[in-house]
Amino acid sequence: MADEMDKTARVFVAGSRGLVGSAIARRLQGEQFAHLLTPTRAELDLMDGRAVDAFFAKERPEYIFDAAARVGGIQANNTFRGDFIRENLQIQINLIDAAHRHGATKFLFLGSSCIYPQLAPQPMKEEHLLTGLLEPTNQPYAIAKIAGIEMIDAYRRQYGFKGICLMPTNLYGPGDNYNLETSHVLPALLRKVHEAKLAGAPSVVVWGTGKPRREFLHVDDLADACVFLMRSYDGDKLVNIGVGTDVSIGELARIIVGVVGHAGEIVFDTSKPDGTPRKLLDVTRLHSLGWRARISLEQGIAATYRSYLAGAVHARSA
C-alpha cells in the first residue's frame, strides 16, 4: 500500500488552472485538505527551473500531482510542434527533478493515450508502449510524455524515487478549451454545434470522415482516479485511465447535437485529417486496482454543456 495522503499532507497540484489540474484541485478541496498548493502561472513559471527549485525549497510539498502540460488538438499539435516538445520536456524535467531533490513522498505523472503506437492493437494495453510508430501529427508531444515516463522509471531505479505514471484517455469537462484552433474534438464540436444553433445554420461541419473511434473520460472521473491511485498504488507499471468503451466521431457529433438541441445536418469534411483510426485503452489493470469510471458520456456532455453556457453568460456580462 502507498503512504497515506491524508488531509494534513502538503499537496501540490501543478497546472491547477487547466482542465485536469482544476478538477484534481476541486476533488482535494472537497476533502478539505489543509495544505493544498495551487500556484498560478504568474506565481510559478514551471519552465523556470530555478523558480521551481525555490518553490520546492520553500513549500516542501509531499505529494505532487503533475497535471501541467502544453496540450491541444490535431491542428495545434501539428502546427506548434517545437513548442509542444520543448515546453512539456522543460515542465516535467523541472518538476520531477525538484521533487526528487527535495525529498517528496510521492509524484504522480500524467501522460496521454497518444504515447501508444498509431496502429497499436485495440484496446491498447500498457505493454504496447514503444512497440511501433507514433501518430505523426502529435509525435513531438507524445515523445515528450514518453520521456517523462522514462524519467520517472529511471529515477525510481537509480534513486528509489516514488513516482507513478497514469495514462488518461481523451478528456472533457468543466474548464475545457473551446478555442477552435487549439481545442480537442469534443469541446470543439460542442462549440460548433452551439454556435450553429444560435445562428440557425442548416449544418455543422465536422473534420474528417467521422469514422475514427475515440474514448472519452469526464475530467472529474480522472481526478477521482488520480486521488485514488495516489493513495493506493505504488507500482512501477503504467496504468491506463479510461472507461473501456469508445464511440465514432460521427456518433459523438450526434450525441452533442442531441444535447445542444440543434436540428441541423452534420457534414463531414473529408479533406481534413482523421488522425489515429482508433484509440481505446485497455483498463483491465485499472479495474483490478479497484477503480471504475462512473460518469456516462451523455451525462458528462450534458453537464459540460451547462458549464459552457454558464461560462458564455459570464463572459458576456463581465
DSSP category for residue 9: S
- Residue 23 and residue 18: Cα distance in Å, rounded? 8
- Residue 274 and residue 8: Cα distance in Å, rounded? 47
Q: Which residues contact 11 (CB under 8 A, 6 or more apart)?
A: 5, 28, 33, 35, 36, 37, 61, 62, 63, 64, 65
178 catalytically annotated: no
- Pull the grid cell for residue 126: 500498457
Neighbouring CB atoms inside 10 A of 126's CB total 18
**Category of 190 on φ-ψ map: left (φ > 0), alpha (ψ -120 to 50) or beta:** alpha
- Pull the grid cell for residue 284: 483491465
**Category of 291 on φ-ψ map: left (φ > 0), alpha (ψ -120 to 50) or beta:** beta
Beta strands 247-248; 213-214: pairing state: antiparallel
Catalytic residue among 63, 116, 141, 155: 141
What's the one-letter identity of residue 248? S
The sign one gets for the Cα dihedral 180, 185, 189, 190 is negative
Catalytic residues, by residue number, are 141
